[in-house]
Chains A and B, each alone.
Chain A
Amino acid sequence: MTKEAYGELMKQINSGKFVFTGELEPVKTTNFDEVIEGARILKNHVAAINITDNPTAFGYMNALMPSYMIQEKAGVEAVYQMTTRDRNRLALISDVLAAGALGIKNILALTGDHTTVGDTPQAKPVFDLDSATFVYMLRKIIDEGLDLNNNEIENPPKFNIGIAAAPNADPLEPELLKIQRKVELGVDFIQTQCVYSVEQAKNFLKAASYLKTPILIGIAPFKSISMMKWMVKFVPGIRVPEEIQETLHKAKKTGGKQAVYEANIEIFGEMLRGVRSTTNAAGIHAMAIGFEWIIPKIIERAGL
């Protein structure tokens, strides 16, 4: 089922090309330089770049402005991530309209991590909408030019809508049914959280194939051993195979930081090749916050 493409990302997905998306995180700063620099590094390797919206409930620069800036200054399309955690439906439509005015082409509709896991746990969580009701609102805006109360929008914006998926969710069935709910409302693409083996990608893609929606598999190389250890220990649902852990540990011991990077390139390059050649994934969503330079190297290693 081909969906109408409003931007480069969806055009490439529709063309059947294996696409890449990247991810950048505006932090607690008033400076755009880092995001723009990151976008420039990724530019020639990805169709679009996600700009995160207060990830894990940390209070950062809002995602809309950097989304606009990477399009303007680095010439690469943005996937504007929007969570329903911090804004009620009024604030959401304000930002959606502004995104339309600024030429944003893609919105990733998310519920968002709970306020209590972030850096301002005292905050009042909003969750007026959830990711499904937000998709519903976006569809009305895009397809009918109407807000939730059927008020007309002048010059309604067009976006391709993405959603997230948890490929390692256990149990998986409720996760799939939840995605199905949103797919039935009308979403254009899915980006998954990270997988750590071709097998994990394959299993999810197989289970989700009935949804007939392009799926970009998430990968996230490890910036450091301590980051990997932390994730393995504290983030349930992230399953890093023993071999990967061992290889990275060994690399650290023998060659330090540089060797860890190289091992990452090897491991994830190989994984990428596997996903590309043995699954029907629409592409890869690569997350390497703070060391974006590694993504082009991984893609190169994969020989894609």
Chain B
Amino acid sequence: MIIVQQKPLKEIFEMTKNLKKLLIVGCDGCSSVIQVGGERQANILKSLLEINRKVKGEKDPSAKAISILRQCDRQIVTTALDPIIKDYDAIVSLSCGVGVQTIADLFQSTLIIPAIDTKFLGMHDTKADKFHEMCTACGECILFETGGVCPLTRCAKSLLNGPCGGQANGRCEVGGWKNDCAWILIFNRLKERNRLDLFTKFRLPKDYRVSRHPRELSFKAENEEATEA
């Protein structure tokens, strides 16, 4: 899931200052699941914005809040926003950066304001009530070799051949030996499975072309190639 966090209100107030006719758009995808940017949060933000705008004496303090299924889907965004967008001067989005850019791309003449900071691809540890980054979308998954623990993301140095000399008692030097060392997790899992050969295996320097920005992907081309062959 994409882990997001609402921006400080001060920042949102600043970006929306003196704008009339605001549409606050929540996203029922990841943003809503982690209770940061769904319908409920869109309504709360609407109320806060209205109060602030009233206090500041703005001419048109009222705003409207809606939420749509997924802001990263062009089809869904078009269907939801096309009929109403002309009534608004600006859109405040509660989705990740993908959703914000999808709207920005589709409605280029409307101002779009991100109310969310996109943090990382992660997992919710409900027990500790914490989110952990798990994958950096490197483009070439090696989880099979590493016992289901991603060293590119969970090792602070993204080492392919860890651990480094900074681990102590299974903890990582980064952050003062509080977090798990990913390479010790990998070691423990592979040892349990009797696959230390995978641990000791030397991994060649990574080809970073597969993670070079901006990336694109088309299944169409691949399928065509497959039929030709």
Contacts and interface: CB of A to CB of B under 8 A. Distances in A.
A55 to B, nearest CB: 12
A174 B160 contact: no
A212 interface: no
Contacts of B159: 111, 127, 130
> Looking at chain B's contact residues, is the secondary structure mostly helix, strand, loop, or mixed?
loop
Contacts of B128: none
A169 B204 contact: no
Interface stretch (A27-35, A71-79, A175-183, A201-209): A175-183
A125 B164 CA distance: 15
Interface string A109-128: 00101101100000001011
Contacts of B204: 133, 136
Contact of A116 (B163, B174, B203): B174
A192 to B, nearest CB: 10
A132 interface: yes
A92 B35 CA distance: 45
B156 to A, nearest CB: 6
A164 interface: yes
Contact of B161 (A173, A181, A236): A181
A166 interface: yes
Given A117-B173, A127-B158, A184 B165 contact: no
Contacts of B200: 177, 180-181
Interface string A246-280: 00000000000000000000000000000000000
Contacts of B183: 174
Contacts of B161: 130-133, 178, 181-182
Interface of A: 85, 89, 111, 113-114, 116-117, 125, 127-133, 136-137, 148, 164-166, 169-171, 173-175, 177-178, 180-182, 184-185, 193, 236-237
List the 4 shortest-distance A-B pairs measured between CB atoms, nearest first: A236-B168, A132-B161, A174-B187, A237-B168
